[in-house]
Structure 1
């Protein structure tokens, strides 16, 4: 069965990049979290890109915030950026997360 979301991770010597798209919603939160936690190296810079998700909700945003906080507590670089459709952008902005995703 094909997953309703996409998670791509790129590693190099000092940093890693995670690209997420598709349905980033509560229905898939556990599997997204499981896959990310297995592959993220919490000793390297992390760049997270949310790329035109078809759905996003507060559960996913809270999970990303928890990763950001873990990085900040360790003094490690963390970057988050997002590209959204107009509808998804309005949802994120109206929920108060404009600055988080640099919209």
Structure 2
């Protein structure tokens, strides 16, 4: 999993290719991604909302057999710890944007 700052995300996001699951919060940087994006708004900070957003994104994109990248905007070590364990799943390469 790559952890990038908001400034670093501008460069990284523009170069993504393939399918992207993007869980966005206050930064709303999903607009910078030129790849095909399934964008899901996170309603609240925290692990519980992150899990709900992941479930929603995966459930409402059944035509996809997996994503090439998953980008998560968030704050907090608990979120990062959860995502590290999920990187080998269908979420594939995870990029965490610290907002």
- TM-score under structure 2 normalisation? 0.41
**Max radius of gyration: which structure?**
1
Per chain length, whose mean CA-contact separation is higher, i.e. which structure has more relative contact order (CA < 8 Å, sep 6+)? 2
- TM-score under structure 1 normalisation? 0.40
